[in-house]
Amino acid sequence: MTTEAADLAGLAGLLADETRAAMCLALLDGRAWTAGELAAHAGVAKSTATEHLHRLIGGGLLAEERQGRHRYVRLADSGVAQLIEDLSGHLEPRRKPVRGLRQATADAALKRGRTCYDHLAGELGVAVADAMTAKGLLDQRGGFALTEAGLAWLTDEAGIEPGALPGVGRSRRPLVRGCLDWTERRPHLAGVAGARLCERFMEQRWVVRIGTGRAVKVTPAGREGLRALLGID
């Protein structure tokens, strides 16, 4: 067996456990969680969650942050988020049994709009990508690419500081990337541009989080703003 094969098998093994997979999916909201919060989310004891977190940190999927006596974990980087989202996109959609009105409402909210690490996903994320494509700002032929008009639009109309974009060349993260949406089965906008747009929309409170999870909603100001900026109704 080659070293590469052994490493790949080890990586797959980290996500082969349902509890660890649930933790990684929760961390796709882009925020740092405590072990207790992840334990409650996964439905396991805190001691069990801690054991799983040690494995995920050791395997490079999660990173640890400490603030005083508190310990937080988050996804190691955007590449890990892309890996998990891409794997989720390959899953066959299954009709889940409805476990009451609250669960049905939460599932519907996630489908309408959510964060995928640091960019928008769900119906909202796909709508943004489609609107940018219709306006000639984004080219989806053979992959995702910003047009010249799209690059100018980011700074001139979307209000993103030019200094937030040049650093792309010094990192491995692309400016734009198509991310297969696991509920819509179509790509939404990822990459640096997708992250900056999500950040901008939240700063303007066009988009706000629903509770403590990944779900987001468009505010009345956001409906007007998105209609004026991208023609999204």
Mean pLDDT of 85-92: 74
Backbone angles phi, psi at 202, to 5 degrees: -75, -35
Q: What is the pLDDT of residues 210-227, one digit of tens each?
A: 987 788 999 999 999 999
Residues of the chain with CATH 1.10.10.10: 3-76
Across all residues in the chain, what is the average pLDDT? 86
What is the CATH architecture of 3-76? Orthogonal Bundle (1.10)
Q: What is the pLDDT of residues 129-181, one digit of tens each?
A: 999 999 999 999 888 899 999 999 999 999 898 877 754 445 567 889 888 88
Neighbours of 209 (CB within 10 A): 16
DSSP class of residue 164?
G
pLDDT score, position 166: 56
| Amino acid of residue 50 | T
Say whether 99 sits in a helix, a strand or coil: coil
